[in-house]
Every structure is written in C-alpha cells, then in structure tokens.
Chain A
Amino acid sequence: MARNPLRDKVAIVGIGSTRYGRDLGRSELALGLEAAVAAIRDAGISPGEVDGICGTGMTPLAMGGAGFLSLQGALGIERCTWGKNGWLGSALVFTVEAVFSGLCDMALLVQANVRGANMSRSAARDPYRARAARYADVGGDVGLGDFAKRWIHSGEPYAAIMRRYMHDFGVGKNAFAMMAVNCRTQGTANPEAILRHPLSLADYEASRTIWDPMQIADMDVPCDCAEALVITTAERARDLRRKPVYVHAMSLGGTRIGEYYENFAGWRDNSFQVAHRGLWERSELSLADIDLFYPYDGYTMDAVAITEAAGYCGIGEATDLFRSSWDASRNLLMLDGRVPVMTGGGGLSHGRAGGANLYAEAARQLRGDLGERQVPGASAALISIGSFFHDPSAVVLRA
C-alpha cells in the first residue's frame, strides 16, 4: 500500500451547477460565477469564508476567463491563501490537496466551459458541422508549430488509437456503441442534458463518421455550462448544513511519453492505467465497494479504456464485459449486474463540462437527494477523468 494520509479528511460540502445549453450567450466568467454562487449558497457558508480558489484552465496561473483570480475579483472575496487553475480530472485533485495541506480551509472549485467563441452563429447551432468542416479542409498545418509532434485536433489521434484498439484486440465497435447508448439512456433522466432523447444501438451505427472509425455518437456534446464545488476539511464539514461527501482516495497519472500523442505507449502503459494503480494502492475501498462509476467520456475510447484500467475487466476485454453487463430492455450498462455507469448522462448526453459534471453528479448521488435519478443506497463512487495523455484522475468519493 502507498501512503494515503488524506483518507476521508476532506469533503465536498457545496455543489452548484448552471443550465447546460448549446448557446447560452454568456461568458465563461458569467457561467463560473453563477455556479460559484450556487455552490456557496448550497454549502450555507458566507463567501468570506472562502480562502482558496481553483479556477478553470490548463495553465495554473493564467488570468481571464474563469481563472482563479478573475473569480476572486468578481466574487469580491477579500483574501485567499491559495489559488490555481485546473482542468479535467486534476482540478478536484489540486483543490483537495490544498485543503488537506492546510494552505486553505474552504476552497471553491469552478470549472466553466464555453463552446469555441470564434464559431459563427450557424456553427453555434450545429457545432459538429462547423467543427468537421473546420478540420476537414485545413491544408498546411499538420504539425502546427511543430511538425514532429502535433495533430490538428485531439480527435485525430483518438480516432487513430480507437482503430488500433479494434486491431489489437480483434473487436468491432460494440463496446463503444454500448457506452454511447448507455450514456444517452442515463441522460433521459437528467432535465439539463443537452441530448435528452435516447440513442439506440442502430442509431449509433447510423451516426455520421467524423474521423473514421470515430463517429459523432462517440464524441461528447460541446456546450456552455459551469460546475462549482465547495471543499473543506472533514471537521468543518460536520458543522455545515449539507451531508458531507468525503474524498476517500485519489491519484493522478502520467507516463514517460510526456505530451507526445504519437508515442502512445500502449494499453498497459498509459495514464489511465497509472492513475488507477495509484488509486487502488491508496484506497481502503476496492472495486467491489463501488456503487457508481463515472468513466470520462470525452470520447467513448476514453470511457472504454478507463473501464479496463479501473479493473472491471482485463485490457481489451471491455466488449465482453459490456455484453454481459448490458440490460437490453433498458439499453443500460449495469457492471457486475449492479453498478450503473454515468448517471446523469456524462459528456455524451449531459454535455461537455471537462468532467466536472461527473464529480458534481457523483457527489449529489452520494448525498442521496437526487430525486428521480437517485440510485438507492449508493455509498461510494469511482470517478475517473482525463485523457490517455494528460490530467487523468482516479478518485473514490464516499458518503
């Protein structure tokens, strides 16, 4: 076992979410502030108690957008002893680190997402069409800035990796299709889901090809949205109005390939695998204790690889696992016959929130007050967010 001194010492005590929309006509900061205010109210604390902020961004100190300093200024929070930006899975991990280490006591985590502002109005109505066109006829920029390492868009290496997965394991797209259909079914119970109508396996098959073999149904839905969490110590959490959701164990992951997508080191040696190994070495709970599973679905390839890395099946075996976990009457995955995957619909249905919606959904489920889509008796959740290459987290939250 690895050390895990932070076990159950830090808790989520406030959750705030904005509407999800394809074109809300609002800035990242406006959305982030709305979510922040909602989370602070939900926690029942005074804004002045916030003394640390994790904002939105891949660059830890970047300002503007919904970066930590812009949020602090706009919220009028007098003093913070900690601030940083985070992205994908790392944002929550950074925030929990900061509270656990004592650099702050009441941290606000905000993740805001807006679809590309440079798109036209018609593109805003149909983001896929705009994106496909934009990348399909780009001429001379294979290797933007650095020919040796760049792809035009992250979808290209992901599509190429998906093809390699199918080749290496001799499988078709069944696992990807079942994940996509499952998330869309889960999304039907979420009033905020952008794609709230269900998808069938036949619909998946018929969906448009974007980067062959990747189809539109394999890709999350771009949208405008924000999520915010208030995170504090377990001691402080016990005095607050909301039932605390504890961070039991967590890990990040990285490998020697660094940032070079094309040097992808394979199925056994990628960041998802490293993050989950790191998690299970630190967690007292094991997979058998997990009631809810949230594998990030920026692309279905992510969710499939995360399911394997989590340990639900061996590497390359997701197709068989999903077949045996498939509830055909409801078009839903139930792992081991009991674990729902991606309640709320995830990125494929609810919308692309960089995974922040998975943290928020899991925490709400563990509070036990999610109404219609509440999973009865859920007491532990595994949330894994990020990519094969950067910002992969694996986190166990418990009630």
Chain B
Amino acid sequence: MRLSITPDFAALEIARDAWSEPFWQWGEQGEVRMPACLHCGAFRWPAGPFCPSCRTQEVEWRPTGQARIHTFTILPISGEATKVRMPTLVEFDDAPGVRLVSVLVDADPDTVAIGMPVAIDWIAASNGKVAVFRTEATGDRA
C-alpha cells in the first residue's frame, strides 16, 4: 500500500500579513476560520484588502464547516515505492467559494476521491502552524 507523506514544515517561514493574520492565529488554536465580508457576506480567500463582490473592507472570521476534497494530484517520490505526496484542494460546506490548498497526509491514494470529507490538522512551521488534510477514516484510526 502506498501512503502519502507529511512534509517537514519546520523550516517554512509563513508569509503572514495584516489580511491573513487571523487565519494563522485561529490555526494556532487548531481551528479553520475564513474571512467573510461584513457588508455582503461573501467569503474572500486568499485574504485581501477588498471584497471582490462589493468592494468593502470589513470582514468577520467565520467557522467554515466540513472540508471536502475538490481535487488532488499524486506525486510519486523518486526512490520510494510506497510513499507519495498529495497536493490537495479542499472546499468547505459553510464557506462557499473558498478553496484551500495544502497536502493530504497519511492517506492511501487509491482510496481517495473527489468529494471525500477531510479533517484539518495543524503542523508546526517556523513561525506558526500550517494546515494539512487528513481523511476522516485515517484520523479516526490515529
């Protein structure tokens, strides 16, 4: 069986800025929150200074609900017959329009499918924590 790796993020310097800062702060508490426009409610991700729908600034950081796989790819790792890397894009039930890209970890690529629910894990980087995805079944076993 092949299994997807967990990359080593220890040296990764996350580029935090005024607009994304709350995302990383929520992440340090183990929670995904996304910015929704206070005026029209549209989610805005990647975080930025203006709502592309109504051109206002203020946001509130809302919980995003269940994450599901939008799509993914599988990278073989040279010299490693049983290890792969899985860049994956997820969407959220309660944050329409938002897609988050990271890696799916500890997953058997042959069992992964578009639409599958995933849990979010947070892994230490040099100046914060990075979100990774975990299939729920694998998470339960862990």
Contact = CB atoms under 8 A, between A and B. Distances in A.
User: Do A and B associate with each other?
Assistant: yes
B109 interface: yes
B46 interface: yes
A130 to B, nearest CB: 10
B118 to A, nearest CB: 15
Contact of A160 (B11, B47, B73, B76): B73
A240 interface: no
A148 B98 CA distance: 11
Interface in A304-337: none
A212 B74 contact: yes
Interface stretch (B54-62, B99-107, B134-142): B99-107
Interface residues of B, number: 37
B10 A148 contact: no
B8 A212 contact: no
Given A151-B87, A167-B114, A263 B76 contact: no
B78 A133 contact: yes
Given A136-B76, A139-B8, A164 B130 contact: no
A148 B99 CA distance: 9
A285 interface: no
Contacts of B73: 156, 159-160, 163, 211-214
A163 B72 contact: yes
A135 B12 CA distance: 16
Interface in B33-65: 45-47, 52
Interface string A127-147: 001001101111111110111
Nearest to B91: A262
Contacts of B78: 129, 132-133, 136-137
B80 to A, nearest CB: 8
Contact of B103 (A133, A142, A148): A142
Interface string B102-132: 1100000100001000000000010000100
Interface string A151-185: 11000110111011001000000000000000000
B12 A143 contact: yes
Contacts of A209: 74, 76
A139 to B, nearest CB: 4
Given A152-B87, A160-B87, A260-B46, A136 B75 contact: yes
A256 interface: yes
Nearest to B72: A160
Contacts of A164: 70-71, 114
18 contacts: A132-B78, A136-B75, A136-B76, A136-B78, A147-B15, A147-B102, A148-B23, A150-B101, A151-B101, A156-B87, A160-B89, A163-B72, A164-B71, A164-B114, A211-B74, A262-B89, A262-B99, A263-B97
Interface of A: 129, 132-133, 135-143, 145-152, 156-157, 159-161, 163-164, 167, 209-214, 256, 260-263
Closest 8 CB pairs of A and B: A212-B74, A159-B73, A164-B71, A140-B12, A160-B71, A148-B46, A262-B99, A133-B78
